[in-house]
Amino acid sequence: MIATVVPVKPAVGAKGRLAPVLTDAERTALARRLLARTVTVADGLGPVVVVSRSKRMRALARRAGATTLVEDGEDLDTAVAQGLARLAADGWDRALVLPADLPHLRLVDLHGLLAAARGAGDPDAVVVPCQREEGTNALLLRPPGVLAPAFGPGSFARHVDRARAAGLQVAVHRSPGFGDLDVPEDWADAPELHGPVRRAVRTATG
């Protein structure tokens, strides 16, 4: 078993770069659906902790089976660090950090990540880049606080560089299942979400 931290922003106003192809209501519905899906998949490995300042997103996460924390700060790194601190206090010796916008993620992808970590000798950190090799779409840490989170643009290289500078053993794992949904091209690559998102909007406004 391994515990997972999922930081999540409020759904309203989320996914702004998808505005050319999705309405505000559709982007809100998408953010909620992706969070529920991510929690459900990660729950296959063990406990999931969702950190958010959104009461509605925390409630949704709990319905999906997660434990929730009220976000202390205002930025992603603070939310991740808060979740990791909770897992460390609970006695977990490893932790996985996942964003909430991985539409293709399956449990087999997470097992593949763990297998890759074992094959690399269980390094201190395993970094999974996004499909554009820019951001970080998963971070496996042993122990949870071994590397300070540094998400945002360029975070893939930043996480690897900081781990190496700290003398940590670090590995990189690439898998299509960890692709995110951030720009219109990503939406086009996730047709399985189109119907459910639009139905959710019609139900909410009907």
The predicted structure's pLDDT at residue 206:
53
The predicted structure's pLDDT at residue 73:
87
> What residues does each domain of the chain span?
3-205
Tokens of 4: 């997972």
The verdict on domain 3-205 having CATH code 3.30.70.20 is no
The rounded average pLDDT for each run of 10 residues, N- to C-terminus, in the chain (206 residues) is 96 93 95 96 98 97 98 94 97 97 96 97 97 96 96 96 97 96 94 92 77
